[in-house]
């Protein structure tokens, strides 16, 4: 997908504090990443114009939700889902849950197995169809303007899982969610944590950039301020996700290594080997393969250790926040 296919718009002020001054940190042309001079919140500017968002997302997610039953079983076994379910069950008094931006409904299916009454809202028709066909879950298709608009008095908890970083007007959505929840109702938010080590060091290579889908890049302090100002009290903040965090560490290391190799190594012209030589090399490589499973296991264990260590000192790569309506 070419960025030039979509209209662009600039963001003149910070959505968190209203400050107009900002500093350009880096660019992924034609997009720029600017940090607020007052509060430090990073934003995408220019970004895809609001008038082009529906077409942009339709093209971006066209093939994301297709998969066979084997893949689905693996997705449902994602430890992230049980982690979220435990967090919700610990903090919510009721068991009526709405997932705003629920995707294909995999998490809702897992939460339902924990005894919850679940419903989803989704802007992607493809994703909503997948949730209905895979899990029989009621998913309402909504427009981008209606993302935060939900009926009042119907829910005990609302989830925004990797949704807030996509929102152009997060305050408007949070105001509507606040009105819909009862006093003491739970809002569960997950976003990429820009305060993480990879968020600070990797710049344009950071997994949370996801250019140009993500437009705001929060730290836990930004979430605390935003939620507090919109009538929520933050009761729990974690920066570790057992499903996502180790994978992100592994992907980050590989991205950094690839980038370093591209910088150090220069392409060299070389002759194409003869067919018989290439065949011999292939056989030699096949006979000397290391045990792949063992290598993957070691990498995974290392990634888990690094991810947990980052989280222990407050620099984990996923900001997970539980807040209650006051």
DSSP H helices, 92-148, are 106-113, 125-135
Q: What is the pLDDT of residues 298-309, one digit of tens each?
A: 666 666 676 777
pTM listed for this prediction = 0.84
Percentages helix, strand, coil for the chain (3-state, rounded to 5) are: 45, 20, 35
Kindly state whether residue 264 falls inside one of the protein's structural domains: no
The pLDDT of residue 150 is 80
Kindly state whether residue 179 falls inside one of the protein's structural domains: yes
Number of domains in the chain: 1
23, β-bridge pairs? 35
Nearest to residue 243, comparing CAs of 317, 171, 296? 317
Residues with Cβ within 8 Å of 51's Cβ and at least 6 positions away in sequence, in order, are 7
Kindly state whether residue 297 falls inside one of the protein's structural domains: no
The pLDDT of residue 277 is 44
pLDDT band at 27 (very low <50, low <70, confident <90, very high): very high
Residues 145 and 143: their CA atoms lie apart, in Å, by 5
Kindly state whether residue 234 falls inside one of the protein's structural domains: yes
Kindly state whether residue 129 falls inside one of the protein's structural domains: yes
* Greatest mean pLDDT among 57-66, 200-209, 248-257: 200-209
Kindly state whether residue 203 falls inside one of the protein's structural domains: no
Give the CATH number of the domain where residue 74 resides. Answer: 3.40.50.150
The pLDDT of residue 203 is 87
Kindly state whether residue 210 falls inside one of the protein's structural domains: no
Inform me whether the pLDDT recorded for 172 exceeds 60: yes
Nearest to residue 240, comparing CAs of 301, 314, 322? 314
Domain span at 186 = 63-197+218-246+305-325
Tokens 């849950």 found at:
97
Which run of H or E residues covers position 80? helix 79-91
Kindly state whether residue 311 falls inside one of the protein's structural domains: yes
């Amino acid at each position: 997908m070419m960025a030039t296919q979509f209209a662009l718009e600039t963001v003149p002020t910070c959505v968190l504090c209203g400050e107009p001054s900002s500093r350009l940190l880096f660019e992924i042309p034609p997009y720029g990443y600017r940090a607020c001079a007052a509060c430090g919140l990073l934003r995408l500017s220019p970004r895809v114009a609001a008038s082009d968002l529906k077409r942009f997302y339709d093209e971006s997610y066209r093939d994301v939700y297709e998969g066979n039953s084997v893949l689905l079983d693996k997705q449902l076994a994602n430890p992230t889902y049980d982690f979220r379910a435990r967090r919700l069950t610990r903090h919510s008094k009721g068991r009526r849950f709405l997932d705003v931006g629920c995707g294909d409904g995999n998490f809702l299916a897992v939460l339902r197995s924990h005894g919850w009454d679940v419903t989803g809202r989704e802007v992607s028709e493809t994703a909503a169809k997948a949730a209905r066909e895979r899990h029989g879950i009621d998913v309402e298709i909504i427009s981008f303007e209606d993302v935060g608009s939900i009926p009042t008095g119907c829910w005990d908890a609302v989830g925004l899982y990797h949704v807030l970083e996509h929102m152009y007007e997060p305050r408007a959505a949070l105001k509507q969610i606040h009105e819909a929840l009862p006093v003491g109702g739970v809002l569960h938010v997950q976003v990429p944590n820009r305060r993480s080590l990879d968020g600070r060091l990797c710049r344009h290579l950071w997994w949370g950039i996801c250019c140009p889908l993500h437009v705001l890049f929060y730290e836990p302090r930004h979430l605390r301020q935003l939620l507090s100002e919109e009538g929520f009290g933050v009761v729990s903040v974690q920066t570790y996700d057992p499903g996502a965090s180790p994978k992100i560490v592994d992907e980050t290391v590989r991205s950094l290594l690839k980038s370093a190799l591209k910088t150090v190594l220069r392409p060299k012209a070389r002759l194409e080997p003869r067919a018989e030589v290439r065949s011999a090399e292939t056989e030699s490589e096949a006979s000397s393969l290391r045990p792949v499973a063992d290598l993957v296991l070691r990498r995974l264990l290392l990634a888990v250790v690094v991810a947990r260590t980052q989280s222990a000192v407050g620099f984990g790569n996923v900001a997970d926040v539980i807040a209650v309506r006051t």
